[in-house]
Amino acid sequence: MDEPGAEWGTAEGRAMIRLLWDPPTPPARGPRQRLTLDQVVTGAIEVAAAHGVDELSMRKVAQHLGVGAMSLYTYVPGKDELFELMIDRAWAGRAVPDRSLPWRAQVEFHAREAWAMYRANPWLIHSNLWRMPMGPHVLDAQEDLYRAVLLTGLPEGTVGRIAGLVESHVFGAARSAVTDTSMSARTGVTPDDYWESRSSFWGTYYSLERFPAMTRIWQNGGFDEEFTDDAWEFGLQLLLDGVERLVTAPDATAPPPDGTADDTARPGDGTAPTRADGDPPAGSGA
C-alpha cells in the first residue's frame, strides 16, 4: 500500500497509465466479464463512502459487488491501482470555470470545486499517501488551475508555486475539517464527555501559565469556527491577496524564483517538449 505505480518508467507504471487513460476493452475470447471497470471503481467508492476508507478492502468491495475477492484482480492489478482509479474518478465530477472571468475568480472557482470534492469524498484525504495519480481528470483540473494562474502574467515558476499553494491550502483545510467532523460524528459526544475531559486534561495538566496564548485565543472564541465550512476561505483570500500584490507590485518581498536568469533560453510555447532532465509532476502531490 505504498506508492504504487509511481515510477512512470516501470512496467507497472505504464500499466497504470494505460488503465487510467484508455481502459482496455474486454477481449472477446473467454467468458464475458460479469462487471465493468467502472462498476468496480464505483463499488469501491461506495464502500469507502459508506464505511470509511479504513474499511475499504478488496474482500469488502468484492462482496459489495457480489463477486469473489480474486475476481477483482481481473479488472485491476491491485488495491493501489484501484485507489488511483477512485481518485481520478472523484476528480472527474468537477465543473470548469468560466474562462472569461478574471484569474482570481477562476482560481476561487477551482478552489471551491476542490473543497466541495473533498467534502463529498472524505476518503480522498488519504490520497496524500500517494502521489497524485496522473489520470486524465486530475490533469484536466490541474490544467484549468494553471491556466487561471497564468492569467496573472507572473513568471512561470511563480505560477507553478502559487498553484501548488492553492491546492495545498484547500487540501489542508479539508483534511482538518474532515477529520474533525468524522471524529465528532463517530461518537455522539459533546456535552458531558467534554466536561469530563476537561476535568481530566484541562483541569489536570493544562496550565494557564504554561499556555497563556492559547488560553487567550480560546477565551476569545478564536478556535470556535476554525473548522466551519467557510473558514478556509479566509486563508484563500489571504493567499490571493498576496498574489494580487505580487501582480501589481513585482518588487514584493517574495522573490520570483526563476523568471530572470536560467541555464538556457527556453523556447516559447508550441514546440514539443525537449527538456532532458525531468517531466511535469502535474499532480504536485497536493
Partner DNA sequence: AGCGGATACAGTACACCGTACGGAGAGAAT
Partner DNA sequence: ATTCTCTCCGTACGGTGTACTGTATCCGCT
Q: Is 52 in the site for DNA (CB under 7 A)?
A: no
Which C-beta is closer to a copy of itself: that of 26 or that of 242? 242
Q: Is 189 in the site for a copy of itself (CB under 8 A)?
A: yes
- E strand intervals along 62-166: none
Q: Which residues of 66-85 are buried (b: 16+ CB within 10 A; e: fewer)?
A: ebeeebbeebbeebbbbbbb
Q: Is 218 in the site for a copy of itself (CB under 8 A)?
A: yes
- Name which of residues 62 to 101 contact DNA (CB under 7 A): 67-71, 73-75, 78-80
- Name which of residues 146 to 175 contact DNA (CB under 7 A): none
Torsion of CA 20, 26, 27, 28, to 10 degrees: -160
Asked whether 97 and 105 are in contact (CB, 8 A), the reply is yes
Using CB distances below 5 to 8 A depending on partner kind, what does residue 174 bind out of DNA, a copy of itself, none?
Answer: none
Angle at 175 between CA 253 and CA 6, to 5 degrees: 85
Choose which of 23, 39, 155, 247 interacts with a copy of itself (CB under 8 A).
Answer: 155
In angstroms, the CA 198 to CA 168 distance is: 33
CB 5, min distance to DNA, A? 11
Choose which of 34, 68, 217, 250 interacts with a copy of itself (CB under 8 A).
Answer: 217
The half-sphere exposure of 47 on its side-chain side, counting CA atoms within 13 A, is 22
Amino acid at 124: L
CB 104, min distance to a copy of itself, A? 10
Q: Is 98 in the site for a copy of itself (CB under 8 A)?
A: no
> Nine-digit cell at 191?
456535552
In angstroms, the CA 208 to CA 225 distance is: 22
CA-wise closest residue to 230 among 109, 94, 112? 112
Which C-beta is closer to a copy of itself: that of 73 or that of 146? 146
Give the number of other CB atoms < 10 A from CB of residue 38: 12
Which C-beta is closer to a copy of itself: that of 78 or that of 235? 235
> Nine-digit cell at 261?
536568469
Choose which of 29, 186, 210, 275 interacts with DNA (CB under 7 A).
Answer: 29
Give the number of other CB atoms < 10 A from CB of residue 224: 10
Q: Which of these ranges, 30-38, 89-97, 153-161, 174-182, lies near DNA under the rule CB under 7 A? A: 30-38
Choose which of 106, 121, 127, 142 interacts with a copy of itself (CB under 8 A).
Answer: 142
Query: Binding residues for DNA, how many (CB under 7 A)?
Result: 28
Using CB distances below 5 to 8 A depending on partner kind, what does residue 241 bind out of DNA, a copy of itself, none?
Answer: a copy of itself
Q: Which of these ranges, 43-51, 93-101, 108-116, 204-212, lies near a copy of itself under the rule CB under 8 A? A: 204-212
Close Cβ partners of 231 (under 8 Å, ≥ 6 residues apart): 173, 225
Q: Is 20 in the site for DNA (CB under 7 A)?
A: no
Q: Is 31 in the site for DNA (CB under 7 A)?
A: yes
